[in-house]
Amino acid sequence: MSKLRKHSDQPDHKKQMARTVKQRMTIVISFLMVILVVLIFGIGETWWSTWMVEHRKQLVGVVLFFAVFLVVLSPVIVEATSNTRTLSGPGKNPQGPWPE
């Protein structure tokens, strides 16, 4: 396979991986938002266990923290999964294993 053909296939793979990660992140964030709405408005509170009712504010805080955390870090997560760097192995360091 020529080098030109390899390079043309690689961006498609990266785009597909980025698209997949974005879709999964959207699903996870949407799921967290649904849980957050249920907790904030008390939907179905009669079916909740007593510890959930007692600690509702703490649960809202934890779910909101994870949702904001994922929203803020989603560009970094997508970039890290689609553009992975290959680590240099043994023998790749021009200065030797222990620079002096």
Tokens representing residue 31 in the block: 């799921």
* Whether the Cβ atoms of residue 32 and residue 65 lie closer than 8 Å to each other: no
Domain positions in the chain: 3-82
pTM across the whole model: 0.72
The string of pLDDT tens digits covering residues 30-65 is 999 999 999 999 999 999 999 999 999 999 999 999
The string of pLDDT tens digits covering residues 59-86 is 999 999 999 999 999 999 998 888 877 6
pLDDT tier for residue 14 given thresholds of 50, 70 and 90: confident
Tokens representing residue 84 in the block: 């992975």
